Chain A
Amino acid sequence: MLKKKKKDMPAVSTASLPDIIFMLLFFFMVVTVLKSHTVRVDFDLPEGVDLQKIENKSLENHLYIGSKDDGSISIQLNDAFISIDQIRDAMIKIKNSYDLGEKNDASLSLKVDKSIKMGIVTKVKLELRKADFRKITYVSVGEDQE
């Protein structure tokens, strides 16, 4: 009698384990945001202290300044290479593509290589001001603001 009971001890069913793991898997697949554009310039971010996180990703544009494969310094706005004189028109165009309420929240994150000289950055900033696209973030690495 006793022996039989021991034999019938149900094993913990692992049949539902794959389902649980698949759920997790789907969660990660959905949450993962694939990069919308490929970055074709090389950059090493500068260091800062007390950094803030970027909140609204849908209104965020990206400007990269770094060196291309051939070593030349180039500027990439979202998905395309751009010259400094074109920035102003491009930014006005981006700003106009947003709804009225969102226009003022449109922002640009600058990912600039740390060895880039300020001369270029200053020119870019001047163009941004002329385009009235004034919310920017200097993307950097370092500790967050607590």
Chain B
Amino acid sequence: MKKKRKTPPEISAGSMADIAFLLLIFFLVATQISQDKGIRVVLPEYYDGPAGKVIDRDVLNIKINKFDEVMVEGKPTTLPDLATLIPKFVLNLEKRSDYPTSPSKAIISLQNDVNTSYDAYVYAYSIIQSSYTNMRRDLSKSKYGKDLSELDSDQANEIRKALPMKVSEADPFEN
């Protein structure tokens, strides 16, 4: 009798863990920590006047038609090829006379049709942005021997000045 009192039947807490686990798993599955990602862009200021003049050799014309076909400087190409064409144009290591004299002068002109799909446009834009990031990364490595993310703000500005990403988006053509 005495022995029984010493060990009263405890309410088993073992199953509590299981219940809590079920709830936890429910929340884990139901939760979607939606970290949106994308291409960050700052649109140009609204300006309603005559277009400024640019020198032809500084501009790389990229056109996307309504069938999502790409043409660069009058030659048909594909979107993935842009990734090699853009650094070639901007850096102009071959000193071609129809490419810009300095990388800071390069302008990428992206023009599309009203019927171009958003998919192709976003892909083209992201390739332009990523080729600039790669070029900046290379410059940072060769100039400061550091990665882009390790630079202080002065150095980062210097890099941005040497390789400014100038994307000009002309009004879409209609046909």
Contact = CB atoms under 8 A, between A and B. Distances in A.
Contacts of A21: 17, 20-21, 24
B37 interface: yes
A136 interface: yes
A36 to B, nearest CB: 12
A130 B46 contact: yes
A82 interface: no
Contact of B122 (A29, A48, A50, A125): A48
Contacts of A136: 40-43
Interface string B131-175: 001000000000000000000000000000000000000011000
Interface string B90-128: 000000000000000000000011111111011101110
Contacts, number: 151
A109 B133 CA distance: 21
A109 B122 CA distance: 13
A18 B170 CA distance: 62
B38 interface: yes
B114 A118 contact: yes
A119 B121 CA distance: 11
A129 interface: yes
A103 interface: no
A28 B17 contact: no
Chain A interface residue count: which class? Answer: 35 or more
Interface in A1-57: 14-15, 17-18, 21-22, 24-25, 28-29, 31-33, 35, 46-54
Contacts of B130: 49-50, 145
Contact of A140 (B16, B33, B126): B126
Contact of A54 (B16, B36, B41): B36
Interface of B: 13-14, 16-17, 19-21, 23-24, 27-28, 31, 33-46, 112-119, 121-123, 125-127, 129-130, 133, 171-172
Interface of A: 14-15, 17-18, 21-22, 24-25, 28-29, 31-33, 35, 46-54, 109-110, 112-119, 121-122, 125-126, 128-130, 132, 134-140, 142, 144-145
Given A15-B13, A35-B34, A110-B38, 9 more contacts: A31-B33, A46-B122, A48-B38, A51-B37, A116-B117, A118-B115, A126-B46, A137-B36, A137-B41
